Chains A and B, each alone.
Chain A
Amino acid sequence: AQSVAQPEDQVNVAEGNPLTVKCTYSVSGNPYLFWYVQYPNRGLQFLLKYITGDNLVKGSYGFEAEFNKSQTSFHLKKPSALVSDSALYFCAVRDTSGTYKYIFGTGTRLKVLA
């Protein structure tokens, strides 16, 4: 079965420090991977994606993610966290069986402390 795991419910980081939000996946075939961010009472906002090509992808607001095929991971990173980065982050993978579905992780709440 295809799945996405975000092992941490919450990540706390001090402002200015690097942050990492973890994601691992399980799909058959080549994965299409995504990160989204959700602020309170808002919809999810697309941050970045990996479809093919360079393993390090850059996205909005200074975020980047590293695709690691051998570890089946797609961790979200940022070199220097801002208080305004505090939000709920979702990792997702596109279903590869042709159903146009996306499988989401359970979300990780990021708290950046001033």
Chain B
Amino acid sequence: ETGVTQTPRHLVMGMTNKKSLKCEQHLGHNAMYWYKQSAKKPLELMFVYNFKEQTENNSVPSRFSPECPNSSHLFLHLHTLQPEDSALYLCASSSTSGLGYEQYFGPGTRLTVT
């Protein structure tokens, strides 16, 4: 798990707060992903970036705003969240060439919206 780091590991925020989640990968990958994992629900893909360009926005509400300044860093900016946004947010990275392709995940940020 040290290949992909996420901070903070836990976050409690009120509905009017603004906060950011950070993800960093040290694997030389070019693609990065945000997923949402809620209890008793399938893993939900939120955003995909390839070489800093967003290639997928899976109909995510605008209160979630991603940012990918380079292939190693990915942020998720949060504002005016709802209690149903409480979940584990997972970052992942992968290579899009060669025979690798497997994703490597960070440990996640456990978000609680009060």
Contact = CB atoms under 8 A, between A and B. Distances in A.
B48 A101 contact: yes
Interface residues of B, number: 27
Say whether chain B's binding surface is mostly helix, strand, loop, or mixed.
strand
Closest 10 CB pairs of A and B: A43-B105, A44-B105, A104-B43, A46-B102, A106-B42, A43-B107, A100-B31, A43-B108, A43-B106, A49-B102
Interface residues of A, number: 23
B1 A34 contact: no
A45 interface: yes
A107 B104 CA distance: 17
B4 A43 contact: yes
A95 B104 CA distance: 17
A43 B110 contact: no
A104 B42 contact: yes
A22 interface: no
Contacts of A41: 88, 107-108, 110
